[in-house]
Amino acid sequence: MSNSSPSNISVAVVDDQILVAEMLAYAITKESDLHLAGVATNIADALVLIADERPDVVLIDYVLPDGDGIEAVKKMLRNSSATRFILLSSNHESELRELALDAGCARVLSKDRPIDEVLAAVRSTARGDASSLS
């Protein structure tokens, strides 16, 4: 499973927008029940991060410099089936949500959500609650 202790949820962040990635990472480190497994800014680095750290939850952007997050999730699930994925997107189309959920994402969150909602979604997803939130 993950390298986190039983009481901590291990979370990785995959986003090429450095400000977004750093803000998510910072917010995760401030929560006593969350552990930052690492940050990647592209799919290639994310594949290594996920394989090495086996986080409980991954927050992954849909648009990445070397591909899209949905295709990346498919690859990552082959190597880390216990990891759960939350796709982050600025795209609000229901078709994207359906594609993401079909690919194995537990949730889809809009990037315009407050950080508290994102962290609540991480916790809920780690518990196995799946829902498509926009």
The whole-number pLDDT of residue 93 equals 76
* Burial of 23 per CB tally in 10 Å (0-12, 13-18, 19+): middle
The average pLDDT across 10-18 equals 97
Tens digit of each residue's pLDDT (9 = 90 or more) over 15-48: 999 999 999 999 999 999 999 999 999 999 999 9
- In the structure encoding, which two tokens stand for residue 60, read together? 């992954």
CATH superfamily of 9-126: Response regulator (3.40.50.2300)
Tens digit of each residue's pLDDT (9 = 90 or more) over 53-94: 999 999 999 999 999 999 999 999 987 789 999 999 987 778
pTM to 2 decimal places = 0.90
Give the amino acid at 99: L
d(CA 103, CA 85): 10
